[in-house]
């Protein structure tokens, strides 16, 4: 629903660009080390799980899956816009990683640690921290941690607690927050320079350019299929009436059904109602009051 941008206009906070940059193990390893505050010997990217790598993948996946030398599994996702239920989204990712391991024959006793990392261009908790680490603890005994091996980290570009985190993490998050016009400046950080170089490579790659076009077309087709489904139902109802009034009602209901399908799809990916209203107003040229009416 948003205005389409060219590959040249993307920054690292755009999901396609983030996925393309993270396909390089050294980039993924560096971001994980910054997020977790630990050293990792090596990481292996599960490329087949991202549409950036495989445009024919049926189902849009913009997150990155990886594992390290200890078989610890990671899911990393960029969050440029505030979305609802991020913690439940994290729960889903943890469950998904566990299920894939169990289906491959891993015993639940042998399940490795799993980390879900969200890089947010907003403050998910409003506490002005650059990093929030969420783990399960006992309600009655706060120092008693549940050793289930799950860890969820939220990074925020809106932190102010500079004395509590490494300067390298702050510089990386400043780079994430930077608009296109500022994203190529010197952030005085070697790792950020590597990321900037990787972005330039993506933008000059014919292969990545083709993948981006395919990716955009895939999203366009997905939206159009939802619209056509609603239109078809509306036309069918209109023909059954056999009158001009019936056809008009059918078209109106078809439009309404299309919008309902789009809202359902958006909520599936945890898009907030405020974002949906804004997108409906832009896409359908309707008022805010009309857009909110479709949410009920």
Give the integer Cα–Cα distance in Å for 69 and 72.
7
- The tokens describing 36, both together, are 């977790």
Whether the pLDDT of residue 85 is over 90: the answer is no
Say whether pLDDT at 253 is over 90: no
Torsion of CA 248, 250, 254, 257, to 10 degrees: 120
Give the DSSP letter string of 219-284: HHHHHHHHHHHHHHHHHHHHHHHTSHHHHHHHHHHHHHHHHHHHHHHHHHTT--HHHHHHHHHHHH
- Quick: pLDDT tens for 220-233: 665 566 566 666 66
CB distance 215 to 51 below 8 Å: yes
Alpha-carbon distance of 124 to 283, in angstroms, equals 28
Distance of CA 198 to the CA centre of its chain: 20
With beta carbons less than 8 A apart as the criterion, state whether 154 and 116 touch: no
Contacts made by residues 43-49, CB under 8 angstroms, sequence distance 24+: 43/67, 43/68, 43/74, 44/68, 47/23
Residue 241 has pLDDT above 60, yes or no: no
Neighbours of 196 (CB within 10 A): 19
The answer to whether 260 touches 294, Cβ cutoff 8 Å, is yes
Rounded mean pLDDT of 27-53? 83
Stated as kind and residue range, the H or E segment containing 64 is strand 64-68
First and final CA of the chain: distance in angstroms?
20
**Residue 258 pLDDT:** 67
Q: Is the pLDDT of residue 106 over 90?
A: no
**Residue that wins the pLDDT comparison between 276 and 203:** 203
pLDDT of residue 83: 79
Residue written as tokens 């330039």? 200
- Per-residue pLDDT tens over the stretch 26-38: 999 999 999 999 9
The pLDDT score that the predictor gives to residue 51 is: 52
Which range has the worst mean pLDDT, 4-8, 165-169, 235-239, 262-266? Answer: 235-239
Quick one: pLDDT at residue 212? 85
CB 215 within 8 A of CB 59: no
> Would strands 114-120 and 150-156 be described as parallel, antiparallel, or unpaired?
parallel
Confidence of residue 61 (pLDDT cuts 50, 70, 90): very low
Confidence band (pLDDT; 50, 70, 90) for 175? very high
Residues in CB range of 4: below 8 A, 6 or more apart = 216
More confident residue, 209 or 50: 209
Query: Which residue has better confidence, 267 or 32?
Result: 32
% residues pLDDT > 70 (the chain) = 73
- Averaged pLDDT score across all residues of the chain: 82
Is the pLDDT reported for residue 56 higher than 70? Answer: no
Q: Supply φ then ψ for residue 126, to 5 degrees.
A: 70, 20
């Amino acid at each position: 629903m948003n205005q389409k941008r060219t590959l040249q206009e993307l920054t690292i906070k755009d999901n396609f660009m983030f996925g393309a940059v993270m396909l390089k193990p050294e980039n993924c390893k560096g971001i994980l080390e910054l997020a977790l505050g630990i050293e990792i010997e090596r990481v292996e990217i599960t490329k087949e799980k991202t549409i950036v790598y495989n445009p024919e993948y049926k189902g849009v996946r913009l997150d990155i899956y990886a594992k390290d030398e200890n078989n610890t599994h990671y899911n990393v996702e960029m969050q440029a816009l505030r979305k609802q239920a991020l913690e439940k989204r994290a729960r889903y990712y943890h469950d998904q990683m566990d299920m894939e391991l169990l289906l491959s024959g891993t015993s639940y006793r042998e399940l490795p640690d799993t980390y879900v990392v969200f890089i947010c261009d907003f403050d998910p908790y409003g506490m002005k921290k650059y990093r929030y680490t969420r783990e399960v603890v006992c309600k009655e005994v706060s120092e008693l941690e549940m050793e289930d091996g799950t860890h969820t980290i939220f990074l925020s570009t809106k932190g102010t607690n500079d004395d509590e985190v490494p300067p390298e993490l702050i510089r990386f998050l400043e780079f994430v927050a930077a608009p296109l016009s500022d994203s190529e400046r010197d952030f005085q950080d070697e790792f950020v320079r590597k990321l900037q170089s990787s972005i330039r490579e993506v933008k000059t790659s014919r292969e990545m350019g083709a993948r981006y076009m395919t990716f955009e077309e895939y999203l366009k087709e997905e939206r159009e299929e939802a619209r056509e489904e609603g239109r078809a139902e509306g036309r069918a109802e209109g023909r059954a009436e056999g009158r001009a009034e019936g056809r008009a009602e059918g078209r109106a209901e078809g439009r309404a059904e299309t919008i309902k399908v789009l809202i359902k799809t958006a909520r599936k990916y945890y898009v907030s109602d405020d974002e949906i209203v804004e997108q409906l107003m832009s896409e359908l040229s309707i008022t805010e009051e009309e857009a909110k009416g479709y949410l009920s």
